[in-house]
Amino acid sequence: MTAPYTGPTLTTITPGIEANIARVRSLCHAEIMAVVKADGYGLGAEHVARAALNAGCTWLGTTDVAEASQLRRAGFSVPILAWLHPAGLDVETAEASDVDIAIGSLEHLIQALRRGRGKLRIHLHLDTGMTRGGLPAYDWHDAMHWAAASEKEKIFRVVGLMGHLPNADAAEPSANDAGLRSFDVAHKMARKAGLTFEVRHLASTSATLTDPRTHFELVRIGAGLVGIDPSGSTELNPAARLTCPVVHTRAVSEGSPVGYGGSGTTREAGFVSVLGLGYADGIPQLLDPEAYVMIDGRACRILGRVNMDQIVVETGEWAAAPGTEAIIIGPDPGEPTVQHWAQWGNTSAHRIITGLGQRLHRVASTKQEETI
């Protein structure tokens, strides 16, 4: 019989994801795409997708066709859109797996019209201010007319028009004005070329939460699924719990140096404990001196630099027994959040959650206290 796993464990809290989608649904009447790229923002694409669909999402979004095909093989039947294509445009697999693909360049459009066999569904991806990806405005006319001609020849179907808003995180609707104007110009141009769309989508989490004008027929929720609102306007529910057992504990005197170069120093005589995870698991190596974990309801300060596989914490007069659970990231009041770690590590919440390493044991939970 296999012994239960007792190492660092990352739990996907599916009720948190469901609550976040419920919040989005209360703010808009559009359909919702759950964007589960980067393995569901680090929490498991299948876990996150299933929770999001249970909460009312009707689309899934991925980076590329390979990710989308994995979801198809896992049994997901809702529309799935792949829009970044880092390994190139895989038209054949997209058709075989019934995956929508975004077309963000004339080169990709040419590939689609040469290789499409009638089943391919495409979304025209416009650059509406990011200067990062999507069809630039000077290619819109040609792209619209080529796409319309190819649709008439039944090479593919044009089902979506999409873009991104560069300033939506400002939580100020006027910051989206230029992007909306650009999107409107493109939509009118497409209609003139003879194209109609099942869905238009421009808003990701921030715009969805702050600017109803951006909703159209579909909105894309990625970071918001896992409790991150880049706009800072809405309190969302945490969706992750990271725990690790104490490896060992030892007595120390006040002022004891800790770690390489003595980069940490104990504040008092008492005890320190070692936790068996580190920067190889996604914990920032350099942290604010006030960074802490929770052990038995106590906030225990992290001492010194985070090591590849170890963190040292100060527990004061209390000696934590080996095996005692430390909460690294938690959903409950007082527990460190993803946002805390981003602040302590001078980085973003997105980077913390997606950077949690593959060595972590991953489970899903339908209740705060129960994993499956």
d(CA 310, CA 306) in angstroms, rounded, equals 7
41 counts as catalytic: no
Q: Which residues pair with 294 in a beta bridge?
A: 299, 327
Q: What sign for the dihedral angle of Cα 302, 257, 275, 10?
A: positive
Annotated catalytic residue within 5, 37, 192, 279: 37
- The one-letter amino acid at 261: G
Q: Which residues pair with 135 in a beta bridge?
A: 126
Long-range contacts of range 152-157, CB-CB < 8 Å, 24 or more positions apart? 152/194, 154/118, 155/112, 155/113, 155/116, 155/117, 155/118, 155/120, 156/112, 156/113, 156/116, 156/118, 156/120, 156/121, 156/122, 157/120, 157/121, 157/122
Annotated catalytic residue within 119, 154, 192, 260: 260
Helix locations, the chain, DSSP H: 14-27, 37-41, 45-54, 65-73, 91-96, 106-115, 140-152, 177-193, 205-210, 338-344, 349-354
Structure tokens at 253: 């005197």
Catalytic residues: 37, 260
